[in-house]
Amino acid sequence: MLKQLLAIVLLPLIAALVVGLGGKLISRQWAHRLTIVGVATACILSINLAFGFASGQISVIEHTLYSWAKIGQLNLQVGFLIDSLTITMMVVVTFVSLMVHIYTIGYMKEDPGYQRFFAYISLFTFAMLSLVMSNNFLQLFFGWEAVGVVSYLLIGFWYKKPTAIVANLKAFLVNRVGDLGFLLGIAGVYMVFGTLDYSGVFQQVNSGFNDLEIVISDTAIWSATTFICIGLFIGAMGKSAQVPLHVWLPDSMEGPTPISALIHAATMVTAGVFMVARMSPLFELSEVALNVVLVIGATTALFMGFLGVIQNDIKRVVAYSTLSQLGYMVVALGASAYSVAVFHLVTHAFFKALLFLAAGSVIIAMHHEQDIRKMGNLKKYMPITYVTCLLGSLALIGTPFFSGFYSKEAIILAIENSQLTAATYAYWCVLLGVFFTALYSFRMFFLVFHTQERMDEHTRAHLKEPSMVVWIPLVLLAIPSVSISWFIAPQIISGEFFNVAIQVAKSHDVLSSISEMYQQPFALGLHAFITLPFWLAVSGVIVAYIFTVARPAWREQLNLKLNFINQVLRENYYFDKLYMNYFAAGGVAVGNKFWKWIDAGVIDNWIVNGSAKTVASISGQLRKIQSGYLYHYVLVMVVGLLAFLGWIYWRALHGTV
Amino acid sequence: MIEKLPLLSLSIWLPVLTGVLMLFVTGQKHKKTSHWIALIGAAATFAISLLLLSEFDSSSYYIQFIEDKVWLKSLDIHYALGIDGFSLPLIVLTSLMTLIVVISSWNNIKFRATHYLAGFLIMGGLMNGVFAATDSILFYVFWEAMLVPMFLIIGIWGGANRVYASLKFFIYTFFGSVFLLIALIYLAKQADSFDIFNMQQMVIDLEAQKLIFFAFLIAFAVKIPMWPVHTWLPDAHVQAPTGGSVILAAIMLKMGTYGFIRFMLPIVPDASMAYAGMMIVLSLIAIAYIGFVALAQEDMKKLVAYSSIAHMGFVTLGLFISFALLKQQQVDAAVMGIQGALVQTISHGFISGALFLCIGVLYDRMHSRNIADYGGVVNTMPKFAMFFMLFAMANAGLPGTSGFVGEFFVIIASLQVSFWIAIIAGLTLVLAAAYTLWMYKRVIFGDIANDKVASLNDLNGRELSVLIILALLVLFFGLYPSPLLEIMQPSVEHFIDCNLVSKLTPEGMCS
Task: Note the pLDDT tens digit of each residue in B364-381.
Answer: 899 899 999 999 999 999
Whether B66 shows a pLDDT value over 80: the answer reads yes
The predicted pLDDT at position A78 comes to: 93
**Cβ–Cβ below 8 Å for B335 and A71:** yes
**Which residues on B lie below 8 Å from A149 (Cβ)?**
393, 398
Residue A345 CA to residue A339 CA, distance in Å, equals 10
Strand pairing partners for A78? Answer: A66
The CA–CA distances, whole Å, from B145 to A393, A617, A631, B102 equal 74, 29, 19, 20
Which residue among B211, B292, B447 sits closest to A160, beta carbon to beta carbon? B447
Whether chain A has a CB inside 8 Å of the CB on B147: the answer is no
Rounded to a whole number of angstroms, the distance from the CA of B475 to the nearest CA of chain A is 13
**Residue in A362, A63, A97, A363 with CA at minimum distance from that of residue A197:** A63
Spell out the residues 6+ positions from residue A336 whose beta carbon is closer than 8 angstroms to its own.
A280, A283, A284, A290, A414, A418, A504, A505, A508, A509, A510
Spell out the residues 6+ positions from residue B187 whose beta carbon is closer than 8 angstroms to its own.
B136, B199, B202, B212, B267
How large is the ipTM? 0.92
The predicted pLDDT at position B3 comes to: 63
For B313-323, the pLDDT digits (tens) are 999 999 999 99
The predicted pLDDT at position A607 comes to: 78
- B168, B177, B429: best mutation site toward chain A, by most A Cβ within 10 Å? B429
The predicted pLDDT at position A628 comes to: 52
Is 0.90 topped by the overall pTM?
Answer: yes
Q: Average of pLDDT values for B245-257?
A: 92
For B12-35, the pLDDT digits (tens) are 999 999 888 888 876 666 777 888
List A residues 135-174 in contact with B (Cβ-Cβ < 8 A).
138, 141-142, 144-146, 149, 152-153, 156, 159-160, 162, 165-166, 169, 172-173
The predicted pLDDT at position A657 comes to: 46
The predicted pLDDT at position A218 comes to: 81
Instruction: Answer left, alpha or beta for residue A613, where phi above 0 means left and psi between -120 and 50 means alpha.
Output: alpha
Rounded to 5 degrees, φ, ψ at B438 are -65, -40
Taking chain A (657 residues) in runs of 10, the rounded mean pLDDT of each run is 91 94 87 94 94 85 91 90 92 95 92 92 95 94 95 94 93 94 95 92 89 84 92 95 92 92 92 95 93 95 92 93 95 94 95 94 90 90 94 94 93 92 94 94 94 88 88 94 91 85 87 86 88 93 90 82 83 86 87 85 77 74 57 68 77 65
Residue A623 CA to residue B387 CA, distance in Å, equals 52
Q: What angle do CA A205, A209, A213 make, to 5 degrees?
A: 110
List A residues 599-638 in contact with B (Cβ-Cβ < 8 A).
599-600, 603-604, 608, 612, 632-633, 636-637
Q: Is the dihedral of CA B39, B44, B49, B50 positive or negative?
A: positive
For B264-284, the pLDDT digits (tens) are 999 999 999 999 999 999 999
Q: Please, what is the average pLDDT of chain B?
A: 90
Q: Is the dihedral of CA B224, B227, B229, B231 positive or negative?
A: positive
Burial class (CB in 10 A: 0-12, 13-18, 19+), A15: buried
**Cβ–Cβ below 8 Å for B292 and A591:** yes
Q: What angle do CA B506, B507, B509 make, to 5 degrees?
A: 75
Question: Where does A366-520 have alpha helices with state H?
Answer: 383-396, 403-417, 423-449, 457-462, 468-494, 512-515
